[in-house]
Each structure stands twice: as structure tokens, then as C-alpha cells.
Amino acid sequence: MPTQVLGPLGHGLLTTVLMTALAFAGALLLGVLLAVCRISPVPPLRLAGAAYVTAFRNIPLLVLLVLFVFGLPEIGLLYSLFATVTLTMALYWAAFVCEVVRSGVRTVPRGQIEAARALGLTFTQCLRHVVVPQALRSMVQPLGNVFIGLALGTSLAAAVGVPELTGQAQLVTLKYDNPLTSFALTTAVYVAITLTSGLITGRIERKVAIKR
Amino acid sequence: MTTRSALAVPALLLTMTVAAGLTACSSSNSEQLPPKPGASGDSYQQVIDAAPVAAAADIPAGSLMAKIRARGTLNVGGTDAAALFALKDPVSGKVTGFDAGLADMLAKYIIGRPSTNRVQVDVTTREVLLQNGTVDSVIATYTITQARAQKVGFAGPYYSSGDAILVKSTDHSITTAADLNGKSVCTETSSTAANDIKQFAPKATVVLFQTNAECQQAVEQGRTDAYVLDQALLLGDAARDKNVKVVGQPFTDEPYGIGVPLSSPDMKAFVNNWLKLIESDGEWAKLWKATIGTALSGDAPTPPAIGSAAGS
């Protein structure tokens, strides 16, 4: 039995990894945009950013998944399950990335920003030359946590029909009636993913940290 | 800093609007939820009320049954999302259906009143919960298989069903299991149907959803071409929803058993005797009428012979 489950579980692992990578990339992109909105001097942008974060951060991911998977087709938007779920994950985690980026920016001493503005730098120049290079370094560990949360969160996709790692473990369990083996394997893989990313972010963090 | 709290209120309102809007989109779910209490509620309760109680001599001291009687509740593994078998009424919170009724009747037979403690089970937990003693029995459209029978004891079979196919009412391309090849087919995460689809239509893409309602929704929305599950459950769906229909005849045989701990063979014999009793005195047929019979026409079928399934 153990050898027969490896094939399906391997496929599930690929789906999990692909979904994690795509959703994290999407969440990073959107999250940074949102954070720029939230710290921008334009009030409507700040409002939109805050509204987005509040909306997505306060709905459980599983509820969002069910809403998107079964709600979107009702208004005529029928995409593949994988696309729908990955998009939902990106939208959800973007709210968390936004807050990480925003708090990262807040670690830059206010005096530096005021000094930059006093020197005549524009908002964009100030971000690019003063704020972002410093802020990025303090975001490593929190972003690593978002990544871990996202990687584990992909298991919820099994509930809405995506055959990722957890979904395949369920299928394999149906076939061989051996839940302990398949879920033990699955658990080991998730732990490996999270430990590895924890180690990597720890390394990067130590390298780039700013000693203040 | 005041801007932040000033933003919180509109943001919250937006959240609620978004959530409410999206929920409304999928509200067609709700029309299939109530289990027709008007048609079956009264007689369903009457069946439970008329159910027999075991004689004291049938419950030997030290047996699992004696333990259940002393505890005063039967811990029974089940679900609350299977139409006709065990479906929760969202208003009253009461779980009714053929399986739920049997659980109540079994509890009454042992304890004297239908006192059950329902534990949610699915395919990954059923055997484990029986083995570690969390539940005394599992009554949850639990198909008897020989692999499972190595881990748990099966009383019954108490009902015989088979996998059937549910499609959109406008679909004419699928009539047999072989037609499922090349199509996307959904089924419940906890059902043996996933294996059956792979066996009868190896080229079908299997999609797993948690609940019956989600599978039905997926077919209606065109996300999957068909939904395969036990015929009785699908007929229940089709009876409530005109957008879907059940095609063809069942292509597998699914004998449902009552799971009991393998370590309590006396419990298995006890449940078998109880099943024989309610089958011979007509209680079984009355319960069928009050539950599955609300979606199927005709008289109650003849229950399968106790012990007739391999593994029981």
C-alpha cells in the first residue's frame, strides 16, 4: 500500500507547491500595492486599502473559498477550481501581506522620512531610496510567517474539490482505508515545507537585519 | 490617528455588504435544505415513539450495551448533511432521516428512550472513532466492505443502495456509467463512489466536495458534468430541485451496515437481532416510508438479508 499512494500524493504535492507559489506571488504583488495605498497621502486610496484589508482579513478563508467557488458561477463567472481557489488565496493573503509591508514601513524612523521630504524628495523617491530598502529587511520574518500560513492554508482547497495534497490524501484514504498512513505522510510533507521556509527566512533575516 | 477609527465603520459596512451579496448569490442552496417536515415529520416521530425496547435479559452485564444503558446515551457516529438519511433541519436543529431514525430507535432499544449523542464522522474518522471507543456505533450510509470489516464489525446490512448518476435536466449526453469517461464527475469527499467512478469510468476526472449540497450546486452551475452517489440520496436531491435529474439504473451495489467496535462481537449480534426484530414487525418499513419514501414512489423495499454482504 505505501508505494501505491506515493504517485497520487506526489501529484497532490505538485499541486500544493504550484498553488502556494502562485498564490504567494499574487498576494505579494497585490499586498504591496495595497500597502502603498494605505500609506499614500491620498485619502480615497487609504480608505480603499483599509476597506480591502478589513474585508478580507475578517472572513475565514474557508468561507471565502466556498463563496468564490460557488458564488462566482452564480453571476456567470465559471473558472477552473484551481484558478478560482488560487485567486481567492492570493486575495485573502494580500490583506496580510499589506499589513506586514505597512508595519515594515513603520519601522523606518519617522525622522528619516521627514528628513527625506525636507531634502525635497518626492513621495515616490522617498519610498524608493529611504523607506523601502530599510523596510524590506524588517519584513523578512513576518512575510515568512504569511508564507507558512498560506502553504498550510492550501489544504482548505481540498474542501472545495481541488486535488492538492490533502485532497489526494482523502482520495487515497477512500481507496485503501488507511487514513493514518496517508495523513502521516501528508503531515510530514507539510512540516517539511514549513520548517524549510522557516529556516530559509531565518537565514535571510540574519543576513539583512539592520542593527539599530 | 483618528482617521483609522473613522475608517473602521465604512470598512466594516463594506465587508458585510460583500459577504451578504455573495451569500445571496448562493442562496439557491437553501431551498433544498428543509427535509419536508410537513410530509414526514409527524409519522417520523410516531415511528420512533412506537419503537421497541429490549428486555433486560437481552442486555448481559459487562457488555457494551450495558455500558451504554448505564451511561444513558448512545454515542453514535453520523452526519447531518445527507438528504433522506440524516439531514439537519436548519430551523429546529433536529437531525432526521433513515439513518438518524435508526440511531434513535437503537438508542431507545438499549436505553428505553431515544437519547443519542451524535458525533460527526467522515470516511477518514469512522474506523478510528469506533476503534478508540469514541462512538458505540456508526450509522451513516456506511457501505460494508471487506477491507473495512478487518477493522470494525458490521451489523446488517440494513439497506441496499447503489451508485447512480445525477446530471442537469437539460443534459442528454450521459445515461450510463461508461458515458462518464472524459467528463468531470463530482462526489462527496467521504463516499466510496470516488473509487467506483474510477473503476467504471477510468477516464473521468473526479472532483471531491464536502457536502451533497455543494456537489448538486456544482452540477447545476456546470462546474462538473455529473454527480455520482448512492441512488437514494440523489433521488432526494432531484425530488427537491427541478434543474437536475437522475439518469439510468444503479451501477454498483452498496450494502449499508451499522459499524460497531470489532472488540464487541456481542454488540454486533445484539444489533443484528434488533434489526431482524424491527424488520419483521414492520417498523423498518414505516421508517422507510417516513424518510426515503418521501422522495421515492411505491412501497418500502424488502430489506437485504442480515449477514448477506461480504464482511457483515
SS3 category, B228: strand
Of the residues B152, B209, B219, B225, the best mutation for testing chain A's interface (the one with the most A CB atoms within 10 Å of its CB) is: B209
CB B178 within 8 A of CB B200: yes
Q: Which residues of A touch B20 (CB under 8 A)?
A: none
A 10 A CB-CB count for A122 gives 10
Rounded to the nearest angstrom, the minimum Cα separation between A73 and chain B is 6
Q: Are B266 and B60 in contact (CB under 8 A)?
A: yes
* pLDDT tens, position by position, A131-149: 888 888 889 999 999 999 9
Q: How far apart are CA A69 and CA A136, in angstroms?
A: 34
Whether residue A186 lies within 8 A of chain B, CB to CB, comes out as no
Out of B123, B125, B209, closest to residue A161 by CB: B209
Q: Residue A34: pLDDT band by 50, 70, 90 thresholds?
A: very high
Q: What percent of chain B has pLDDT over 90?
A: 48
Q: Which residue of A has its CA nearest to B149?
A: A177
In sequence order, the β-bridge partners of residue B78 are: B120
Closest Cα in chain B to A160: B209
Name the more confident of B225 and A173.
Answer: B225
Quick one: how far is CA B242 from the chain centroid? 22
pLDDT class of B312 with cuts at 50, 70, 90: confident
pLDDT in tens, B237-284: 887 788 999 998 889 988 999 999 999 999 999 999 999 999 999 999
pLDDT classification of B42: cutoffs 50, 70, 90: low
Residues of B in contact with A12 (CB under 8 A): none
Contacts of A159 in chain B (CB under 8 A): 189, 209-210
Q: Which residue of A has its CA nearest to B28?
A: A74
Smallest CA–CA separation between B192 and chain A, in Å?
Answer: 6
Cβ neighbours of B123 in A, within 8 Å: 170, 173-174, 179
* Local confidence band at A151 (pLDDT 50, 70, 90 cut-offs): very high
A71 near B CB under 8 A: yes
B27 vs A1 pLDDT, higher one = A1
Which of B23, B192, B221 is facing A73, going by the closest CB pair? B221
Q: Are strands B184-188 and B205-209 parallel, antiparallel or unpaired?
A: parallel
Predicted confidence (pLDDT) per residue in B154-203, tens digit: 998 999 888 999 999 999 999 899 999 999 999 988 778 888 898 899 99
Confidence of residue B87 (pLDDT cuts 50, 70, 90): confident
Q: Please give the grid coordinates belonging to residue B262.
A: 470489532
For residues A4-15, average pLDDT: 86
A197–chain B nearest CA distance, Å = 29
**Per-residue pLDDT, A19:** 95
Q: Is A174 in contact with B148 (Cβ distance < 8 A)?
A: no
Closest CA to B136 of B102, B97, B107, B94: B107
What is the structure's pLDDT at B210? 86
Containing domain of residue A188, as a range?
2-208
Residue in A51, A158, A159 nearest the CB of B11? A51
CATH for the B163-247 domain, from 3.40.190.10, 3.10.20.310, 3.40.640.10, 3.30.460.10: 3.40.190.10
Q: Tell me which of 3.40.190.10, 3.30.70.141, 3.40.30.10, 3.30.70.890 is the CATH number of domain B26-161+253-294.
A: 3.40.190.10
Residues sharing a CB contact under 8 Å with residue A138, sequence separation 6 or more, in sequence order: A104, A107, A210
Alpha-carbon radius of gyration of chain B: 21
Whether pLDDT at A123 is above 90: no
Instruction: Report the number of distinct structural domains present in chain A.
Output: 1
How far is residue B132's CA from residue B182's CA, in Å, rounded to a whole number? 41
Helix axes B2-25, A43-57, angle to 10 degrees: 50
The DSSP code sequence of A165-208 is HHHHHHHHHHHH--HHHHHHHHHHHHHHHHHHHHHHHHHHHHHH
Average pLDDT, integer, range B131-159: 92
| Residue of chain B with shortest Cα separation from A70 | B26
Q: What values do phi and psi take at B147, rounded to 5?
A: -65, -45
How close A61 gets to chain B, by Cα (Å)? Answer: 13
Residues A81, A14: contact at Cβ < 8 Å? no
Question: Would you list the domain boundaries of chain B?
Answer: 26-161+253-294, 163-247
**A2-39 vs A165-176: helix axis angle to the nearest 10?**
160
Q: Yes or no: say if A15 and A162 are a contact pair by the CB < 8 Å rule.
A: yes
Closest residue of chain B to A73, computed from CA coordinates: B221
| Residue B34 identity | P
Residue A181's pLDDT is 84
Quote the mean pLDDT of chain B. Answer: 84
Residue A73 contacts B, CB cutoff 8 Å = yes
- Chain A CA closest to residue B123: A174
ipTM for the whole complex: 0.76
From chain B, the residues in CB contact with A179 under 8 A are 123-125, 127-128
Neighbours of A180 (CB within 10 A): 11
Asked if A179 has any chain B CB less than 8 Å from its own CB, the reply is: yes
Confidence of residue A152 (pLDDT cuts 50, 70, 90): very high
- pLDDT recorded at residue B236: 79
Using CA atoms in the order B198, B201, B207, B212, what is the torsion angle rounded to 10 degrees?
A: -100
Helices (H), chain B: 2-25, 37-49, 64-71, 98-111, 126-131, 146-149, 193-200, 212-220, 231-240, 265-280, 283-290
- Does the structure show a pLDDT above 90 at B152? yes
CA distance B21 to chain A (A): 9
Q: How many CB pairs under 8 A join A and B?
A: 109
Q: What value does the mean pLDDT take over residues A20-33?
A: 95
Query: Are A174 and B123 a contacting pair at CB < 8 A?
Result: yes
Mean pLDDT, residues B82-98 taken together: 87
Distance (Å, rounded) from C-alpha A143 to C-alpha B224?
Answer: 36
Cβ-nearest to B15 among A55, A175, A176? A55
Distance of CA B96 to the CA centre of its chain: 10
CATH of the domain at A92: 1.10.3720.10
What is the three-state SS of A10-30?
HHHHHHHHHHHHHHHHHHHHH
Cα separation, B137 vs B129, whole angstroms: 9
Find where cell 423498518 sits: B284
**Contact: A67, B206; criterion CB under 8 Å:** no
Contact between B115 and B68 (Cβ < 8 Å): no
Which residues of chain A make contact with B26, given a CB cutoff of 8 A? 66-67, 70-71, 74
Closest CB from A67, A171, A175 relative to B22: A67
